[in-house]
Structure 1
Amino acid sequence: MTAIENKVDFAIVFAVKNANPNGDPLNGNRPRMTADGYGEVSDVALKRKLRNRLQDAGENIFVESSDRTDDGAKSLSDRYRTFVKTLDGTEAKDRNALAAAACSKWIDVRSFGQLFAFKKRDDVDEVSIGIRGPVSIQSAFSIDPVAIDDVQITKSVNSEPTDDGGRSSDTMGMKYRVSGKAIYATYGSISPQLAEKTGFSADDAEKIKQAMVTLFEGDSSAARPSGSMEVIDVVWFQHNSKLGQYSSAKVHRSVKIDASDLDNVKVSVDEASVPGLSYEVIEGR
C-alpha cells in the first residue's frame, strides 16, 4: 500500500430538497438547526453515511449499523471480542499490537479512529485503547437559513384495537422536512502524520473520496426519499508536503459556492487565495 505523503483537504457541497437530512432526537426529530436558523447535519451522521458507502463497496467496517451487520454481532463489544479471539496470545495482550491489528482489519478505524473501551468478558481482557484517525470531517451547515415544514400524517389502521372501534390516537403523527431546497457544505482534511500511525493509505484515501461522491446512494428513507439528497460537488485539495502549503481554514475559505440559482449551483476555488495548491472538483453522481 502506498502511504499518504501529502496533506489533503476537502469540501463536500450537497443539496437537500423537501427532506430531513438529519433529525434531532431532542427536538422531536425535526431537522437540526443552529440558533441562527441555519440547517445542520452532524459530523457523526456524515461519517455514518461514509461508513455505509464503504461497507457497500465491500470494506470491513467496525461501527456498522445494527440493521445491516455483516457478521451478526449485536454490539461493538461483541465484534471486538470475536476479533480478539482470532489473534495470537501476544497480539491480544499488547495494546500497540491490538491497535495495529484493528487498524489493519477495519477501514473506518484506520480512517476516523476509534475508542476501544470494553470490560473483561468471555476470557477477553479489559481494554482501553484510543486510536486517533487521520480523516476529520466537520458538521455540515446550510449556506442560507432554512425553513422547516411541519406535516401532519395519519395511518389508515390502528396499531391496537379500540373499545369503540374508532381511530386510536397513534394514527396521528408529525413529519418534518426542510422546506423547498437548501444547499449545505462540509469540510475536512486528512493528516499524513496520523495516517502513518494507523496505516491509512493512498488507496484508502481514494475510497473515501469515492464514498463522498456517492454519499447519498442507497441512503433513501421515509425522511429522505430517493433523489431528495444530492452531492453537487466534492472539492479535493492535494498539498505538496505533509504539513501542507496552507492551513485547512484558509483552504476551506477558498471554496466559493454560488447558490443564487438553486437548480444550478456553482462551486469554484479562489485560486488567488491559495496559489500553487493542486485541486480537483468532482461532480456528484
Structure 2
Amino acid sequence: MTEQRTQHHCDPTKKHDFLIVFDVTDGNPNGDPDAGNLPRTDPETMEGLVTDVALKRKIRNFIGIAAEDQAEPGRFKIFVEHHGVLNDQIRRAYVAQGMDVGRKVEKPVTDAKVIENLRVIKEALPPAFAFTDVPENSDELPSLAYSGEYSETEFKEQLDGLGDTVIAKTKALLSSLKKDSGKPDKNRDNVEKARRWMCENFYDIRMFGAVMSTGLNAGQVRGPLQLTFSRSVDPIIPQDLAITRMAVTDERDRDKLQTIGRKTLIPYGLYVGKGFFSPHLAKQTGVTPEDLSLFWDSLIYMWDMDRSASRGMMAPRGIYIFTHDNKYGNAPVHELFDRVSVVLKEEKSPRKFGDYKVEAPAGGPLDEVGFPGVTLTKLLG
C-alpha cells in the first residue's frame, strides 16, 4: 500500500524499533473508566495517555477486516475478539488436531424413570453421549458415557435440542456427566501442539503473545511485538461537555422536553508511542514478512476502520522504523528515538498538527549520523 515498502523493514529476522506519531482533534482518544471516561492523563503533568491495549484493539480490528484479502486468510484469525470467549478459542486448537478436550466418564444409571427415558431418546441423544442398555432381567445396570468434547455453549445447545423428550432427572444426569468430565489430563506434548496451532492460526498471538492456560492448556506465548503507552507531547485539557437529548430514556420522563447527556473530549492532542520487534521471539511464534507488512499497514489505515463520534478526528502523522542489521541491535533504542524531535513551534495552545515541528534524519542508512548498521524507514512523516 506504500511505495516505501521494502523487504528490509518487513524482515522478521531483523530487530525493528519504531515510533508512531498520531493526533486527535475534538475527541477522546482513550477514555479512563476510573475517571468517568475522561481522556486518560498523567495527573502530575496533565500529559495525555493512550494505552497499548487501545492501540492493539484498533490493530486487531484492521487485521480482522484485511484478512480476507490475504493469500492465506486462515492464518489471520483474531484471538482477542470483541465479546469473544478466550477459552473457546483455545479449545479450537484441541478440536482441530483431534486431541481430547475433556476426560471420558461413564456412570451406571440406577433410576428406573431415567432408564425408561434414555431408552426412548437413545437415538436422539447428543453424539458425545452413549447409552449402553441391558436386558430388563439382567443383574447389571445400564450405563451412560460422555466423551468430554462439548464446550458449555455446545452442551446447552445439544440439551435444548432434545426439547420435551428428556425429563428433568435425565437432564440432571447429563449435566452431572458434563461436570465430572472436566479438563483432560495434563500432557506436555498436547500443550505444545496446541501452542503451535494457535501461533499458526491467530495473528495477534503470533505478534503480541497471549496467556492460554485459562481453560484447556495451550501454554503461554511471549509476543515479539510490544507497544508502550503513548504520551502527548504537551499537556491536554480534558473537557466534560453537557449535551441535550430530545428523547428520554424512561417512561416516567415522558413529559420532559429533553434530557441531558455528556461528552468528554480534548480540543487537540499530539501523541507519540513506541514499539519494539524482537526477531528472537518472532522465530518462536512463526512471524512472516507478510505479517510484518500487514502490521505496518495497520498503523497507517486502522484509524479509518475505527471512526466514532466520541473519538473525534484521529490520524497517523508519522511512522519511523529503525531497522538493525544485527538481530541484537546496532545502537541503543533510546538514542535512536531521540533522533526524532517533536516540538511546538510557538508558545500557544496547539489546535492542529501544523502547530508542531517534527525533525528526523533522512530515510535510509544512518551511518553518516553516527548509527552504522541502522536503517530508518519513514512510512509517514
Q: 1:158 to 1:78 in 2, by over 3 A?
A: same
164 and 137 in structure 1: CA distance in 2 versus 1, 3 angstrom threshold: closer
After TM superposition, the structure 1 = structure 2 runs for residues 29-108 of structure 1, keeping only pairs within 5 Å, are 29-35=37-43, 36-58=45-67, 59-66=76-83, 74-89=84-99, 93=187, 94-108=190-204
1:148–1:236 distance in 2 versus 1, CA, 3 Å: same
Question: 1:178-197 counterparts in 2 under 5 A?
Answer: 178-179=266-267, 181-197=268-284
Shift of 1:5: 1.8
User: Going by fraction, where is helix more abundant, 1 or 2?
Assistant: 2
Gaps of 5+ in 2: 1-9, 68-75, 102-183, 347-351
Paired AA for residue 246 in structure 2? S
**Residue in 2 that maps onto 1:257:** 342
Q: Runs of 5+ in structure 1 lacking a partner?
A: 67-73, 120-125
User: Partner amino acid for 1:252?
Assistant: F
CA contact under 8 A between 1:3 and 1:196: conserved in structure 2? no
Other-structure match for 2:315 = 230
Secondary structure (helix, strand or coil) at the match of 1:216 reads helix
Aligned residues: 265
Which region of structure 1 is more displaced relative to structure 2, 98-107 or 86-95?
86-95
The residue correspondences of 1:1-285 to structure 2 (distance < 5 A) are 4-35=12-43, 36-58=45-67, 59-66=76-83, 74-89=84-99, 93=187, 94-119=190-215, 126-127=216-217, 129-162=219-252, 165-166=255-256, 171-179=259-267, 181-225=268-312, 228-260=313-345, 262-264=352-354, 265-270=356-361, 272=369, 274-283=371-380
Aligned counterparts of 1:3 and 1:87: Cα–Cα separation in 2:
30
- Between 1:272-281 and 1:231-240, the stretch displaced more is 272-281
Question: Residue by residue, what CA displacement relative to the aligned partner does 1:142-184 show, whole Å, maximum 9, x if unpaired?
Answer: 000011222101211111111772368xx322211012x2210
Structure 1 CA distance for aligned equivalents of residues 230 and 254 of structure 2 = 49
Matched AA of 2:53: V
C-alpha displacement of 1:275 = 4.6
Secondary structure at the aligned position of 1:184 is classed as strand
Q: What TM-score results when the alignment is normalised by the length of structure 2? A: 0.65
**Taking structure 1 as reference, are residues 3 and 281 closer, same or farther at Cα in structure 2, changes over 3 Å only?**
closer
| Residue identity in the other structure for 1:53 | F
- Of stretches 21-30 and 95-104 in structure 1, the one that deviates more from structure 2 is 95-104
RMSD of aligned Cα (Å): 2.3
Aligned equivalents of 1:186, 1:21: Cα separation in 2: 13
**Segments of 4+ in structure 1 off by > 4 A?**
90-93
Moved more, 99-108 or 264-273: 264-273
Q: Report sequence identity in percent.
A: 29
C-alpha distance 248-215 of structure 1, shift in aligned 2 (>3 A): farther
The answer on whether the counterparts of 1:16 and 1:183 sit within 8 Å (CA) in structure 2 is: yes
Structure 2 CA distance, aligned partners of 1:275 and 1:144?
A: 32
**C-alpha separation between the residues in 2 aligned to 1:256 and 1:115?**
36
Larger radius of gyration: 2
Alpha-carbon displacement from aligned partner over 1:213-269 (angstroms, at most 9, x marks no partner):
1131121112113xx101011111111111010122222222222442743344333
Q: Distance in 2 between matches of 1:128 and 1:158?
A: 48
CA distance in 2, matches of 1:14, 1:110: 25
DSSP-derived class of the 2:96 partner: coil
Q: Counterparts of 2:11 and 2:191 in 1: how far apart (Å)?
A: 23
AA matched with 1:30: L
Normalising by the residue count of structure 1, what TM-score does the alignment of the two structures yield? 0.85
